[in-house]
């Protein structure tokens, strides 16, 4: 199950990278930065849940505990990628990276990470 979890985690990362690129390259220009973040949040959540929906049978978790383990693995993958790219590729300062997770500043990354963690459990529940 570890290989499948990592493979789907990579697929999720690719989907979110594409979503982020569309937000920055297209939506920022069309609707402004603040609105683009909100649109991107909903499209990113849709991508996550669609991938969870279609890969659930392949992952075949036996129970909710398996779903939480997989969700936690996906969360760690995405956090690692986001923090690595933010800090070492884009060269953001730590306060900017931490601020991206703060919904009180209008940033929805933290909420998105929570929904990512819960995604497989919710899809598991709906598909039963």
Read off the pTM.
0.92
- In the prediction, which pLDDT does 22 show? 96
- In the prediction, which pLDDT does 47 show? 98
- In the prediction, which pLDDT does 23 show? 94
Measured between alpha carbons, how far is 41 from 58 in angstroms, rounded to an integer?
26
Q: At 126, is the pLDDT very low, low, confident or very high (cuts 50, 70, 90)? A: very high
Enter the tokens of residue 50.
């669609």
Measured between alpha carbons, how far is 71 from 115 in angstroms, rounded to an integer?
9
Query: What tens digit of pLDDT does each residue of 74-121 get?
Result: 999 999 999 999 999 999 999 999 999 999 888 899 999 999 999 999
- In the prediction, which pLDDT does 38 show? 93
Measured between alpha carbons, how far is 10 from 24 in angstroms, rounded to an integer?
21
Domain extents in the chain: 2-127
Residues 40, 27 contacting (CB under 8 angstroms): yes
Average pLDDT, the chain: 95
> Nearest Cα to 58, choosing from 120, 126, 122, 125?
120
* Maximum alpha-carbon separation in the chain: 45
């Amino acid at each position: 199950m570890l290989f499948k979890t990592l493979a789907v985690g990579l697929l999720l990362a690719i989907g979110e990278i594409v979503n982020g690129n569309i937000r920055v390259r297209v939506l920022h220009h069309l609707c402004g930065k603040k609105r683009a973040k909100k649109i991107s949040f909903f499209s990113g959540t849709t991508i996550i849940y669609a991938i969870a929906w279609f890969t659930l049978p392949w992952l075949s978790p036996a129970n909710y505990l398996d779903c939480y383990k997989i969700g936690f693995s996906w969360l760690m993958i995405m956090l690692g990628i986001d923090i690595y790219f933010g800090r070492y590729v884009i060269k953001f300062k730590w306060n900017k990276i931490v601020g991206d997770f703060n919904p009180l500043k209008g940033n929805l990354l933290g909420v998105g990470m929570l929904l990512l963690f819960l995604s497989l459990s919710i899809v598991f529940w709906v598909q039963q």
